[in-house]
Amino acid sequence: MKVLVIGSGAREHTLVWKLSKSPNVDEIFCAPGNAGISDLAKCVDIKVDDINGLCDFAKKSGIDLTVVGPEGPLVAGIVDLFVENNLCIFGPNKKAARLEGSKIFSKDFMKKHGIPTARYEAFSDEKEAIKELDNFDMPIVIKADGLAAGKGVVICNNRDEAIVTIKEMVNDKKFGDAGSNIVIEEFLEGTEISLLCFVNGKDIIPMESARDYKKAFDNDEGPNTGGMGCFSPNNILTDALHDEINEKVLKRFMAGLKKDNIDYKGILFIGFMVGENGAKVLEFNVRFGDPETEVVLRRLESDLVDVLLKTINGTLKQSDLIWSDKKSVCVIIASGGYPKGYEKNKEIQNLQSNIDDVLVFHAGTKKEDDKILTNGGRVLAVTALADTLKEARDKVYKKAKEITFENMHYRKDIAKL
């Protein structure tokens, strides 16, 4: 069969790599792809937001299955468009994708259906938002309502920071229209858990757990990023906590979909904060997380094509997911200055991995004159698999030290428990 993967990051490189292992796959295309993906798939020069162009390509090329990586096309309705054209596609439809496309919609859904989450208020008016600050303890979290490439969440330590953030989002349009409406939310303390789930329209089937590191620098310092590293499994997710999450989140989520008449087939990513009062939902995402995908799919032993097709036709069961007992660690290598201003077109050296069970997934890269150059903020995702977390961590950092490009940086404390 012919498969099309939409996207250009390390998540998509991981998906392409995993799909290429399936005996059912004859040919893989990726739009637009990157330098690493081009070794496994035919890269197609179509932007992820050109959903009509992607649909035309899928029809003309006889694509049997399309897998959507990023959230933008899902929120724009690519699944609805493909289904109207009788094309097989993996991902939730436009109505379901609002759970990520709008923070306000998502928080209202949680509140309506009794899913534990942080207390919040939503605003479109700067003055009203600033006035509401008196009703929250510091620090607080301010979120842009719409999509902001993982950067629309700001933790403010005091009132002055909060006022500046509100003005930047609402008035200065720091995140464009995404910040026209904002959410002010209580700050939750604890340990983060990332849980990816398959949703087949009737059931929600959790994958193995992970932990993401959002902050740019060691010791969780600096601004939020799209993710600077990850490991799986997350030892915080005990059997008791898993049962709590199943009862208070997963079951209530599925009941909420049914009550609100939302047909959901695809991935649900749930970000949790686990504190003294149990697990609370930080966010819902409607696609594979990044860098969670890099560590979770490294541990999946099932045929991913089979899993995706069963999710689409509504038959996927928990027993269809077979997992390795090994541990996985991923460290993101980023351009200097990321997540703020950074330069591109830096030549990358020593990419090839000679270390067992270490793979280097490309995020922001491109090929020019047989050279691999940086082409984004997050550049590479070095990922290792090993019997213990320490072994996986040691392997990742051994490889990370070998890779070089001008002004590169990465966190040194990923999976350091």
pTM attached to this predicted model: 0.94
Q: Are residues 350 and 368 in the same domain?
A: yes
Burial of 327 (0-12, 13-18, 19+ CB in 10 A): buried
159 lies in a domain? Answer: yes
Contact 343, 297 (CB under 8 A): no
Q: Are residues 297 and 390 in the same domain?
A: no
Q: Are residues 198 and 271 in the same domain?
A: yes
377 lies in a domain? Answer: yes
416 lies in a domain? Answer: no
Identify the domain boundary among 320, 340, 375: 320
Q: Are residues 335 and 315 in the same domain?
A: no
407 lies in a domain? Answer: no
Q: Are residues 307 and 349 in the same domain?
A: no
Range of the domain at 149: 119-186
334 lies in a domain? Answer: yes
Q: Are residues 195 and 311 in the same domain?
A: yes
230 lies in a domain? Answer: yes
Identify the domain boundary among 275, 301, 320: 320
Phi, then psi, of 209 in degrees rounded to 5: -80, 165
Q: Token pair 């719409």 is at which residue?
A: 146
Contact 383, 403 (CB under 8 A): no
Contact 362, 353 (CB under 8 A): no
100 lies in a domain? Answer: no
Q: Are residues 64 and 142 in the same domain?
A: no
Cα 93–chain centre separation: 17
Q: Alpha carbon of 15 to those of 21, 83, 140, 390: distances in Å? A: 10, 22, 35, 25
201 lies in a domain? Answer: yes
Q: Are residues 292 and 210 in the same domain?
A: yes
Percent helix / strand / coil, the chain, rounded to 5: 35, 30, 35
Identify the domain boundary among 264, 287, 320: 320
CATH of the domain at 8: 3.40.50.20
Kind plus residue range of the DSSP H or E element containing 38: none
CATH of the domain at 153: 3.30.1490.20
Give the number of domains in the chain. 4
Q: Token pair 């460290």 is at which residue?
A: 331
Alpha-carbon torsion (238, 243, 248, 254), positive or negative: positive
Contacts of 273 (CB under 8 A, 6+ apart): 118, 188, 189, 190, 191, 192, 193, 279, 280, 282
Q: Alpha carbon of 165 to those of 114, 149, 174: distances in Å? A: 29, 17, 9
Q: Are residues 272 and 315 in the same domain?
A: yes
**200 strand-pairing partners:** 265
CATH of the domain at 298: 3.30.470.20
Q: Are residues 225 and 292 in the same domain?
A: yes
Cα 125–chain centre separation: 30
Q: Are residues 144 and 195 in the same domain?
A: no
Collapsed DSSP state (helix, strand, coil) of residue 363? coil
Q: Are residues 34 and 139 in the same domain?
A: no
DSSP string, 77-124: THHHHHHHTT--EES--HHHHHHHH-HHHHHHHHHHTT--B--EEEES
CATH of the domain at 363: 3.90.600.10
Encode the chain (417 residues) as per-residue pLDDT tens digits. 999 999 999 999 999 999 999 999 999 999 999 999 999 999 999 999 999 999 999 999 999 999 999 999 999 999 999 999 999 999 999 999 999 999 999 999 999 999 999 999 999 999 999 999 999 999 999 999 998 876 788 999 999 999 999 999 988 888 888 888 999 999 999 998 999 999 999 999 999 999 999 999 999 999 888 899 999 999 999 999 999 999 999 999 999 999 999 999 999 999 999 998 899 999 999 999 999 999 999 999 999 999 999 999 999 999 999 999 999 999 999 999 999 999 999 999 999 999 999 999 999 999 999 999 999 999 999 999 999 999 999 999 999 999 999 999 999 999 997
Kind plus residue range of the DSSP H or E element containing 409: none
